């Protein structure tokens, strides 16, 4: 009898564990963020960059990097982000992050955070 109870208990636990993911809630947006704003996925960002370059609204990224990197005086380049018509380049120097915003169409530096 105890063997049967143990077996039934094990089956019930196993059934409960396998159904748990189906009961999980969908992820909620952060409370601090605006739920109407969609977050850019890497695929969407790449598509946006490609379209902007094809349509002449943006210079190719390597050309922009060639203009900005020499001006950063040895800071470590961590990579770009693209948001509409602006590239944001991220650099690191002495443990501090430096952001450089560049107009994607002209290559002109719009703003630079303080190091």
Percentage above 90 pLDDT, the chain = 39
Supply the pTM of this predicted model: 0.58
Which CATH number fits the domain that encloses residue 96? 3.10.450
Residue 22 in any domain: the answer is: no
Tell me if 101 sits within 8 A of 68, measured CB to CB: no
**Overall average pLDDT of the 13-36 stretch:** 51
> Domains in the chain: how many in total?
1
- Look up the domain containing 63 and give its range: 59-115
Collapsed DSSP state (helix, strand, coil) of residue 101:
strand
Quickly state the pLDDT bin for 80 (edges 50, 70, 90): very high
> Which residues, at least 6 apart from 35, have a Cβ–Cβ distance to it below 8 Å?
29
> Is residue 115 over pLDDT 80?
no
**Which pLDDT does position 35 carry in this prediction?**
45
**Which pLDDT does position 69 carry in this prediction?**
94
DSSP per-residue letters across 22-75: HHPPPPPPPTTS-TTSPPPPHHHHHHHHHHHHHTTSS--HHHHHHHHGGGGTTP
Strand order in the sheet with 86-93: 76-83, 86-93, 96-103, 109-112
**Which pLDDT does position 66 carry in this prediction?**
94
102: nearest Cα among 115, 93, 113: 113
Residue 36 in any domain: the answer is: no
> Is residue 101 over pLDDT 80?
yes
């Amino acid at each position: 009898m105890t063997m049967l109870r143990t077996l039934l208990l094990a089956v019930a636990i196993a059934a409960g564990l396998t159904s748990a993911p189906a009961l999980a809630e969908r992820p909620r947006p952060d409370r601090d963020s605006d739920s109407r704003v969609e977050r850019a996925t890497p695929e969407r960002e790449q598509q946006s960059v490609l379209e902007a370059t094809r349509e002449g609204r943006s210079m190719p990224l390597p050309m922009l990097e060639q203009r900005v990197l020499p001006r950063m005086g040895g800071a470590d380049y961590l990579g770009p982000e693209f948001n509409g018509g602006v590239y944001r380049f991220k650099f690191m120097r002495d443990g501090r992050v430096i952001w450089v915003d560049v107009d994607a169409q002209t290559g002109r530096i719009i703003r630079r955070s303080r190091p």
